């Protein structure tokens, strides 16, 4: 009753009739589009309870998405509701109506579909309750000192240049433009190689981010141009994983244009990027840059757009259902999978039984030949702690996400730059991949960014304290 009361209060206060009508219109448009793209569908063969459960979830997520955009031009909760809407509703409903699910050779039963959707509905309510518990809580963020933003800007220029040069020498300039040829191992140890690569990427991001803030404050373009060009060459959009591109470029874009804080352009931009640009980048995953015909790839995306919702990139609903069935038959791991996430930095040579990512774990236990699959956030908690644990952790995640959103929006401004701004802007672009999972890889990659951010904070704080001490003397 306590959770229900708070959720009801949020719903009652948040949604205006215009928002509800707009949301309903979007939902109806999608359903009409779905029928037109697949004219041979017979809705009479669908189970009414399964369809209603999809519609209830879809409407709720559209409402939450629109409401979040009305309150903030961008936020982590916007990404969460966007993910739920597109992966769990649009993709999930399309896969259900066609009885086709990525990776598995069978179709879920109507009763299973209904159960999955009820679980996702409860997950959503728990997230909302957690955000309500957080309320307006946040952490006060320090301003970035002139010591690091101005006096030490040369360090960022040098770092970006060295990383760019290193990537050119080790990978080759022509190989940097396609994902299939841009990766290089820096160590025989795969884990160590991954950590070093992500740390270099993180340093490149913060070098570019701080050079952008330097430009906004001091109107000096040179550091931003140098760092921006280095990032463009070293991590070219078609030569890097999409989670890297989303964090790097969307993060820098949000820092570069403070006007995005005051309008709704980002939400539209993000949707277009997700629906067109990201599928286009996938063309470079296994093909060199010279072999890809951009216009042909774009035409293929548009011609086959209807089948995109059935592809492996949208496997989150399938993997949640697969996780639910696995836990029902075999029980949860009692937190063992999560332990592997938290101790991701421990080499497998030391910890022989270190768990693999939950997506890989499921694929391996179910005998799949292809194991590079997702495991969405509710599925991660389900495989770790079962249904009750999933809902409890949803409360925690709701609280944490709201707290992070509050910390940014209550401290940030167009003129003063807080130390949290670059990290938060990166997370806005990256958070979709945390939602999709699996958590082991997405968490490990994010921690490399947070590690570099913490080092910069310590340097900044030390320089500020040193300056204060000199002034007192």
Alpha carbon distance 9, 12 (integer Å): 5
Task: Map residue 412 onto helix, strand or coil.
Answer: coil
Identify the band that residue 397 occupies on the pLDDT scale cut at 50, 70 and 90.
Answer: very high
- What's the chain's average pLDDT? 80
Contact 80, 401 (CB under 8 A): yes
pTM above the 0.75 mark?
yes
| The pLDDT of residue 187 | 46
Within 10 Å of residue 254's Cβ, how many Cβ atoms? 23
pLDDT at 274 over 80: no
| The pLDDT of residue 469 | 47
pLDDT at 370 over 50: yes
Secondary structure in 3-state letters for 309-360: HHCHHHCHHHHHHHHHHHHHHHCCCCCHHHHHHHCCCCCCCCCCCCCCCHHH
Tokens of residue 39, six digits = 């004219």
**Which H or E element spans position 396?**
helix 377-409
Within 10 Å of residue 27's Cβ, how many Cβ atoms? 19
- DSSP secondary structure of 100-135: --TT-SS---HHHHHHHHHHHHHHHHHHHHHHHHHT
Alpha carbon distance 19, 27 (integer Å): 12
Alpha carbon distance 92, 385 (integer Å): 24
Task: Map residue 143 onto helix, strand or coil.
Answer: strand
Within 10 Å of residue 338's Cβ, how many Cβ atoms? 22
Q: What is the DSSP code (8-state) at residue 259? A: G
Alpha carbon distance 443, 375 (integer Å): 13
Mean pLDDT, rounded, for 447-458: 91
- CB crowding 433-452: b at 16 or more within 10 Å, else e: bbbbbbbbbbbbbbbbbeeb
Contact 316, 91 (CB under 8 A): yes
Identify the band that residue 353 occupies on the pLDDT scale cut at 50, 70 and 90.
Answer: confident
Alpha carbon distance 147, 144 (integer Å): 8
Contact 321, 340 (CB under 8 A): no
Domain ranges of the chain: 2-134, 146-306+399-435
pLDDT digits (tens, 9 = 90+) for 207-246: 999 999 999 888 889 999 999 999 998 888 877 777 888 8
pLDDT digits (tens, 9 = 90+) for 407-442: 999 887 777 788 889 999 999 989 999 999 789 888
């Amino acid at each position: 009753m306590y959770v229900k009361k708070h959720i009801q209060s949020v719903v009652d206060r948040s949604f205006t009739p215009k928002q509800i009508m707009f949301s309903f219109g979007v939902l109806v448009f999608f359903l009409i589009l779905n029928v037109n793209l697949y004219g041979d569908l017979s809705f009479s063969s669908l189970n009414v309870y399964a369809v209603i459960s999809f519609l209830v979830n879809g409407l709720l997520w559209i409402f939450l998405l629109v409401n979040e955009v009305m309150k903030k031009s961008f936020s982590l909760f916007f990404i969460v509701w966007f993910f739920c809407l597109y992966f769990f509703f649009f993709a999930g409903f399309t896969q259900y109506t066609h009885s086709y699910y990525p990776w598995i050779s069978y179709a879920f039963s109507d009763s299973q579909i209904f159960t999955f959707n009820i679980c996702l509905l409860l997950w959503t309510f728990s997230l909302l309750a957690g955000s309500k518990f957080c309320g307006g809580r946040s952490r006060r963020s320090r301003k970035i000192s002139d010591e690091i933003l101005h006096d030490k800007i040369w360090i960022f220029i040098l770092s970006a240049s060295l990383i760019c040069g290193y990537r050119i020498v080790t990978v080759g300039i022509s190989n940097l433009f396609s994902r299939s040829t841009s990766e290089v191992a820096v160590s025989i140890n795969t884990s160590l190689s991954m950590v070093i690569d992500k740390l270099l990427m993180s340093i490149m991001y913060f070098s570019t981010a701080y050079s952008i803030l330097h430009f906004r404050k001091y109107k000096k373009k040179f550091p931003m141009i140098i760092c921006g060009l280095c990032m463009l060459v070293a991590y070219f959009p078609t030569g890097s994983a999409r989670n890297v591109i989303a964090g790097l470029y969307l993060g820098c874009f949000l820092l570069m244009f403070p006007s995005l804080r005051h309008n709704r352009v980002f939400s539209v931009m993000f949707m277009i990027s997700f629906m067109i640009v990201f599928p286009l980048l996938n063309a470079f995953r296994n093909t060199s840059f010279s072999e890809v015909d951009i216009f042909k790839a774009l035409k293929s995306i548009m011609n086959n757009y209807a089948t995109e919702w059935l592809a492996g990139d949208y496997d989150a609903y399938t993997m949640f259902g697969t996780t639910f069935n696995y836990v029902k038959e075999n029980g949860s791991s009692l937190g063992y999978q999560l332990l592997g996430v938290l101790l991701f930095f421990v080499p497998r040579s030391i910890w022989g039984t270190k768990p693999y990512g939950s997506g890989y774990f499921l694929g391996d236990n179910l005998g799949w030949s292809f194991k590079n699959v997702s495991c969405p956030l509710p599925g991660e908690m389900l495989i770790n702690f079962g249904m009750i644990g999933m809902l409890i952790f949803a409360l925690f995640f709701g609280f944490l996400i709201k707290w992070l959103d509050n910390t940014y929006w209550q401290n940030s401004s167009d003129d003063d730059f807080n130390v949290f701004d670059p990290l938060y802007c990166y997370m806005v672009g990256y958070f979709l991949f945390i939602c999709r999972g699996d958590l082991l890889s997405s968490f490990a990659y994010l921690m490399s960014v947070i590690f570099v951010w913490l080092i910069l904070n310590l340097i900044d704080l030390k320089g500020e304290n040193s300056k204060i001490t000199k002034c007192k003397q």
